[in-house]
């Protein structure tokens, strides 16, 4: 009996290998195919061409528990601090959970605005390797990453229904996007070569162009009308946007609202440096980030804020120009 099954298994394996071999050959043949003139056929980037930023409407969510979860996830994403604080058992609870921002404060339109750190397609690209964590990160863990850094709050527990709801919402707006797709709208808000800033110029420009929505003291006018840019209500210095390259890129691409794209590299850098020179909550686990190396030099931590205050900051070093 055992012998027969081993034989059958062996036979199946041989057949399987033969099939894989045939398929591989066919693939290779397709790749090497030539057109009429004998020149190799251009490899067209069909994977990218088919990817469009077109999240389905919230009017079309299915009825029933899944639909309810998607809509709850949308609320949590769009109005994070208000929802979590208003439902907390005590005020202190709500305050411990999150700062005064919402995901929309940085991912505009609850992550459905293509230009402003869109979250469309996230359910198709996670899990993925993240250098800052030094490991494969799931979508749940990535959401929690923004909870503890950008939202300066606490993680959702693995079995928290609100975390499931946010994942359901992100899966909904990722509909139609194939697993592992290259998303052309990803990482748009990043400045590769940030000029050495002038904080004084940044302050002047901030008072002129930004206070109507973000207030003169940076405390903001509301998470979705003008979020807090520094102080206790804002993101901590472990957040991605606490890096000069991401802050300057974000400002240039998205601010001021209504006139995005009008600031020069220099102005965006000046504004980023002014904002990131201000006090904000500290991330306690900097030492654990980037465990396998590659730590960026432009994270504006407390020692750098102090160096700005006492005039010893070396911007060339911070901006990797040495």
Binding-site ranges for ligand HEC (CB under 6 A): 77, 80, 101, 103, 105-108, 116-117, 119, 122, 142-143, 146-147, 150-151, 166, 186-187, 190, 209-210, 212-214, 224-229, 234-235, 239-241, 246, 250-251, 254-258, 271
When the beta carbons of 190 and 297 are compared against ligand HEC, the nearer one is: 190
DSSP 54-107: -PPPGGGPPSSHHHHHHHHHHHHHHSHHHHHHHTSSSHHHHHHH--S--GGGTS
Least distance to ligand HEC, CB of residue 134, Å: 16
Least distance to ligand HEC, CB of residue 69, Å: 15
Rounded alpha-carbon distances, angstroms, from residue 304 to 18, 176, 295: 61, 44, 15
When the beta carbons of 24 and 257 are compared against ligand HEC, the nearer one is: 257
d(CA 206, CA 258): 16
Euclidean distance between the first and the last CA atom of the chain, given in angstroms as a whole number: 72
d(CA 41, CA 153): 53
When the beta carbons of 240 and 310 are compared against ligand HEC, the nearer one is: 240
Least distance to ligand HEC, CB of residue 54, Å: 17
Least distance to ligand HEC, CB of residue 70, Å: 14
**Which position has the token pair 């840019």?**
229
d(CA 286, CA 296): 12
When the beta carbons of 70 and 151 are compared against ligand HEC, the nearer one is: 151
**Which position has the token pair 């003291």?**
217
When the beta carbons of 28 and 187 are compared against ligand HEC, the nearer one is: 187
Least distance to ligand HEC, CB of residue 260, Å: 9
């Amino acid at each position: 009996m055992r012998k027969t099954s081993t034989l059958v298994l062996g036979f199946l394996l041989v057949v399987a290998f033969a099939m894989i071999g045939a398929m591989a050959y066919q693939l290779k043949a397709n790749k090497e195919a030539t057109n009429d003139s004998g020149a190799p056929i251009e490899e067209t980037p069909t994977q990218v061409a088919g990817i469009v930023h077109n999240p389905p409407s919230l009017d079309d969510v299915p009825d029933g528990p899944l639909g309810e979860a998607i809509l709850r996830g949308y609320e949590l994403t769009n109005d994070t601090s208000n929802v979590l604080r208003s439902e907390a058992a005590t005020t202190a609870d709500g305050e411990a959970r999150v700062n005064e921002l919402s995901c929309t404060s940085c991912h505009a339109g609850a992550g459905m605005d293509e230009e402003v750190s869109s979250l469309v397609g996230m359910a198709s690209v996670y899990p993925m390797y993240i250098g800052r964590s030094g490991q494969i990160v799931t979508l749940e863990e990535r959401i929690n990453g923004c909870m503890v850094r950008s939202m300066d709050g606490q993680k959702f527990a693995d079995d928290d229904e609100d975390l499931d709801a946010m994942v359901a919402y992100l899966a909904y707006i990722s509909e139609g996007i194939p697993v592992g797709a290259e998303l052309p709208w990803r990482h748009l808000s990043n400045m590769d070569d940030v000029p050495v800033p002038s904080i004084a110029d940044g302050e002047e420009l901030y008072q002129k162009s930004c206070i109507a929505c973000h207030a003169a003291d940076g405390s903001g006018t509301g998470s979705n009308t003008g979020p807090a840019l520094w102080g206790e209500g804002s993101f901590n210095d472990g957040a991605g946007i606490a890096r000069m390259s991401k802050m300057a890129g974000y400002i240039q691409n998205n601010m001021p609202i209504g006139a995005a794209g009008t600031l020069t590299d220099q102005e965006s850098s000046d504004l980023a440096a002014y904002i990131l020179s201000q006090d904000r909550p500290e991330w306690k686990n900097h030492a654990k980030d980037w465990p396998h190396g590659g730590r960026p030099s432009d994270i504006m931590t407390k020692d750098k804020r102090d160096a700005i205050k006492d005039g010893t900051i070396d911007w060339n070093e911070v901006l990797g120009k040495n």
